[in-house]
Amino acid sequence: MKIVYGLIVAAVVVTSCNNNKNATADSSDSTSNPFFQKSTLTYQAPDFTKIKDADFKPAMEKGIDEQMKEIDSIANDAAAPTFENTLVPLEKSGELLHRVSNVFDLLTGANTNPTLQGVQEEMAPKLAALNDAIFLNKKLFVKVNSINDGLSSSKLDPESKKLVEYYYQKFVMAGSKLSDAQQDSLKKINGQLATLSAQFTNQLLAASKDGALIVDNKEALAGLSDEAIKAAGNNPDYKGKFVLSLQNTTQQPPLKSLTNRDTRKKLFENSYNRAEKGDANDTRKTILEIARLRAVRAKILGFDNYAAWNLQDQMAKTPAAVQKFLDGLIPAATAKAKSEAAEIQSVIDKQKGGFKLEAYDWNLYAEQVRKAKYDLDDNEVKPYFELNKVLQNGVFYSATQLYGITFKERKDLPVYQEDVKVFELFDQDKKSFGLFYCDYFKRDNKSGGAWMSNIVNQSTLLGTNPVIYNVCNFTKPAAGEPALISYDDVTTMFHEFGHALHGFLPVKNTQVFQVPA
């Protein structure tokens, strides 16, 4: 199945292009807003040299207005509903909104700033309202329902049938079968949840930035490599000090190496408590309200809880299935953890550490256990994993061997941040078919974690080629130093590029990509 575009791209986090942010041109003017026309760059890649922060809101508002008109036209078509006059135009609707939202999502996730965060929080309920206007549209649902009822006797191809099933389920899950009063309540809650989700994202990002551990002296960083210490001291906002930035995990990468227990404890606690300090970035009230509203929404939709509603289109299907899986996993996982904890405590005791194992000790001593048992040391392996070599000689090499794909760096295409690289992809017949953006280094204005998504989606219906990106949060080295990454980082690179392959490889015509003989 190839769903061309999701109808609503929720704005998740926010970012900025590196150009002309304070320009005052009226971005609602079609001659000045770059989103109002398709990009003329390769495969409609965005021209980041022309995009300003001020362009997003007017483009999104115009995109919402255009898609609403398209939806009204589909819903009010007097002709009998068919796949061609209902689902095809539904798939094609919202072209402008998708164009701007895809770029907005990229930037908001990878390079945020306060201006765009404000746009995110302002637009979130408006996007939720558009989503409701589509999937709670009674006239449109009657058409989709009619097409779905006739699916068994239709002559549609399997992909088209799957699309009908997808949309029917999406309408039902959204509440299309509810009464007017129930839908009105649902719309209000959806708007509130959209706003709260945007606020949570921004709170968490700010909390992670503020949670960085500031170290005054080099001695407190004992155990870290010279390269890691140099990178930690490379923050221009803290000259003469060292900054250990937080990643989205509780266990931070330096905990594997820091031998100063007080530094380990401070770093762990900064991470663990980052969003529970009672300040503006404290997420607890936001989370509680999101949970409360989700429970109310689930009840309106006829489910006992949010999980029961949300799992309908997932593999597990029911909370009971999830619980059964966890019940089977927990005993083995906890037994393994207790066994590892005993081994680690034994090492601490042999070294006359004089303390009981705590969470912030785990990674350091687990590395020592691994070294003793298997002669493996993460720091000794890192020199073999220089980021660019992993990308070229690992990730890309594997794609070439498995699918015949080759890569060419495109230094002529503009990027949104100086560390980003762009590569053009070619099939085994040397035919170009997509672009890949990779953004690997951590920044304080980047969301935590690692992910893949699209700037432009592959679509035979729209005639578009895939423009895809991977974002990660690896530690950036000091200037002139190699970017040495861990084994876990290597697996993350391969994992995220695996998602990228899902977007790149054609659904049909897969015979183009065959493993070379």
Q: Return the residue matching tokens 């941040």.
A: 417
Which string of DSSP letters, residue by residue, matches 347-400? HHHHTT--S---HHHHHHHHHHHHHHHH---HHHHGGG-BHHHHIIIIIIHHHH
Give the Å distances, CA to CA, from 389 to 200, 317, 417.
37, 41, 21
Give the Å distances, CA to CA, from 194 to 18, 24, 53, 67, 419.
28, 29, 21, 19, 31
No. of H helices and E strands in the chain?
17, 7
Q: Distance between CA atoms of 501 and 197, rounded to whole angstroms? A: 29
Smallest Cα–Cα separation from 434: which of 342, 337, 368, 502?
502
Catalytic residues: 496
Angle between helices 56-75 and 95-110 (to 10 degrees): 140
End-to-end CA distance of the chain: 29
Main-chain phi, psi angles of 516, to 5 degrees: -60, 145
Give the Å distances, CA to CA, from 481 to 229, 245, 383, 472, 477.
12, 18, 12, 19, 6
Q: Distance between CA atoms of 107 and 16, rounded to whole angstroms? A: 6
Strand pairing category for 242-244 and 451-456: unpaired
Angle between helices 284-300 and 180-210 (to 10 degrees): 160
**H helix runs in 175-235, sequence order:** 180-210, 226-232
Instruction: Please give the angle made by the CA atoms of 51, 54 and 57, to the nearest 5 degrees.
Output: 105
Give the Å distances, CA to CA, from 129 to 4, 68, 72, 95.
22, 11, 15, 18
Q: Name residue 497's amino acid.
A: F
